[in-house]
Amino acid sequence: MKDPEVVTIPEVMPRARIAFVHRIAHRRGVRQFVKFAIVGFSGLIVNTIVFTILQHYTPLALAPARYNWNYSIGFLSGGVSNYILNRIWTFRASGHAMVQGLQFITVSLIALGVGLGVSQLLLPYFGPGHRTWFLANVSAIGINFLVNKYWTFRE
């Protein structure tokens, strides 16, 4: 006799949907995006720590110019850790480390420009704090993944 409160996976999700999810999950690009997101989250933690320390200990941290410096230093700090982890784990790159490093930094600088642009748009509404910082970072994620996947680590 079945327990009416116990629901098994096949009852909730038909086999066709399970097969579809399985096919999607095993695509290389999807796996890379998930890994890229995990690495990006670790870089976001580095970025957050550096940005928060700078905002706390930098004189005039609330001034927009100082915010831009703090944002940039935090963003690039997270970018360095992201490059290392993406090269080793996400894309398992074997290309020239210096060339790929320069390409990654170029992409990071473009994403930084996007983030700073978004920050400038949001500063009047949210001020130079963590809300602006978070939304600016989120705005650069898609650009960062696509350009790094198809240019930096295209092997």
- Give the pLDDT confidence of 68-85 residue by residue, as tens digits: 889 899 989 999 999 999
What is the pTM (predicted TM-score) of this model? 0.69
Nearest residue to 107 via CA among 70, 75, 152: 152
Q: Among residues 42, 155, 152, 39, which one has the least CA distance to residue 98?
A: 152
Query: Is the distance from CB of 77 to CB of 51 less than 8 angstroms?
Result: no
**CB neighbour burial string for 16-26, b if at least 16 within 10 angstroms, e if fewer:** eeeeeeeeeee
pLDDT tens sequence across 89-141 = 999 999 999 999 999 999 999 999 999 999 999 999 998 888 998 999 888 88
